[in-house]
């Protein structure tokens, strides 16, 4: 049985973590399949948005403790981190669709996506300190960039669960949905995204990534120098709009 299900429909790719019997705990095999899926998506022109979700009762309970107990934390840590970097570097927008639980390694996985949508029952946490582990998949860098250094420290030091409304208030997630509408709401948003220019999305993601952490003046200079202005499909899109106005 595949640990990751891949479905592509209407220019939307849905990647589903598929270990529901262990609440989609993340192991090396999951990341191997995720690596292959991300490599394929990176070169596809027929995909305009990616949704990452989990099968069954939860998005993911986090890194499989059996892997850690067997010593895989030190053996494979850089590999998993590299896969998350590849996910974060996809040229199209990515959305983590999170329900119920999203702990530690699972949160690092979600943070590698552009946006995080959750339902009202979702609980998120960084529990590295509960297990005597230190982050190796990006938590110390991606979490404070979302919520600020002080809030990141709070979540790391306390290992406490964060509910849906607090997660939204502190900027950890972008959208909170009703439990029974999370899937439909995420899909509707993804469809809106794919109606817009994939070329623009690619340029914006690249500039945002390259200028992250730059002073404002330096970032503006980078945009002025590296943004093409009119993207590859601009003329066609403007022409279609003008045609429909007649």
Q: Around Cβ 2, how many Cβ atoms within 10 Å?
A: 11
Average confidence (pLDDT) over 176-192: 98
State percent of the chain over pLDDT 90.
Answer: 83
- For the chain, domains (ranges, CATH) are 4-195 (3.90.226.10), 198-245 (no CATH)
pLDDT at 92: 97
pLDDT at 241: 64
- pLDDT greater than 80 at residue 19: yes
Tokens describing residue 187: 């899909």
pLDDT at 233: 72
- pLDDT greater than 60 at residue 75: no
What is the pTM (predicted TM-score) of this model? Answer: 0.92
Confidence of residue 229 (pLDDT cuts 50, 70, 90): confident
- pLDDT greater than 80 at residue 76: no
Determine contact, residues 11/48, Cβ cutoff 8 Å.
Answer: yes
- pLDDT greater than 70 at residue 14: yes
Confidence of residue 234 (pLDDT cuts 50, 70, 90): low
Determine contact, residues 85/115, Cβ cutoff 8 Å.
Answer: no
pLDDT at 246: 62
Determine contact, residues 86/104, Cβ cutoff 8 Å.
Answer: no
In angstroms, the CA 133 to CA 152 distance is 16
Confidence of residue 15 (pLDDT cuts 50, 70, 90): very high
Which residues are within 8 A (CB) of 220 and not within 5 positions of it... i.e. 6 or more apart? Answer: none
Question: Residue 176: phi, psi to the nearest 5?
Answer: -115, 125
- pLDDT greater than 80 at residue 243: no
- pLDDT greater than 60 at residue 148: yes
Tokens describing residue 128: 């590295």
Nearest partner of 50 among 20, 7, 86, 79, judged by Cα: 7
pLDDT at 65: 77
pLDDT at 8: 97
Average confidence (pLDDT) over 143-170: 98
Tell me what the pLDDT averaged over the chain comes to.
Answer: 92
Average confidence (pLDDT) over 165-191: 98
Confidence of residue 30 (pLDDT cuts 50, 70, 90): very high
- pLDDT greater than 80 at residue 69: no
């Amino acid at each position: 049985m595949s640990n990751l299900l891949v479905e592509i429909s209407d220019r939307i790719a849905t990647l589903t973590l598929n270990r529901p019997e262990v609440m989609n705990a993340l192991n090396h095999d999951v990341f191997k399949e995720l690596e292959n899926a991300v490599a394929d998506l990176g070169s596809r022109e027929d995909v305009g948005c990616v949704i990452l979700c989990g099968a069954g009762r939860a998005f993911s309970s986090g890194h499989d403790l059996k892997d850690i107990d067997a010593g895989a934390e030190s053996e494979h840590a850089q590999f998993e981190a590299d896969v998350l970097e590849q996910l974060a570097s996809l040229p199209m927008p990515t959305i983590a669709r999170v329900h119920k639980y999203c702990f530690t390694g699972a949160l690092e996985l979600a943070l590698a996506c552009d946006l995080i949508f959750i339902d009202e029952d979702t609980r998120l946490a960084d529990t590295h300190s509960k297990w005597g582990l230190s982050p190796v998949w990006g938590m110390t860098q991606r979490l404070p960039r979302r919520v600020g250094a002080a809030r990141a420290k709070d979540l790391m030091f306390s290992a406490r669960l964060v509910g849906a409304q607090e997660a939204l208030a502190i900027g950890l997630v972008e959208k909170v949905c009703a439990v029974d509408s999370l899937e439909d709401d995420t899909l509707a948003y993804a469809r809106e995204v794919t109606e817009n220019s994939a070329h623009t999305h690619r340029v914006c993601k690249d500039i945002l990534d390259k200028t992250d952490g730059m002073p404002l003046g330096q970032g503006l200079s980078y945009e002025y120098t590296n943004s093409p202005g009119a993207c590859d499909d601009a003329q066609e899109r403007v022409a279609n709009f003008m045609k429909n106005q007649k």
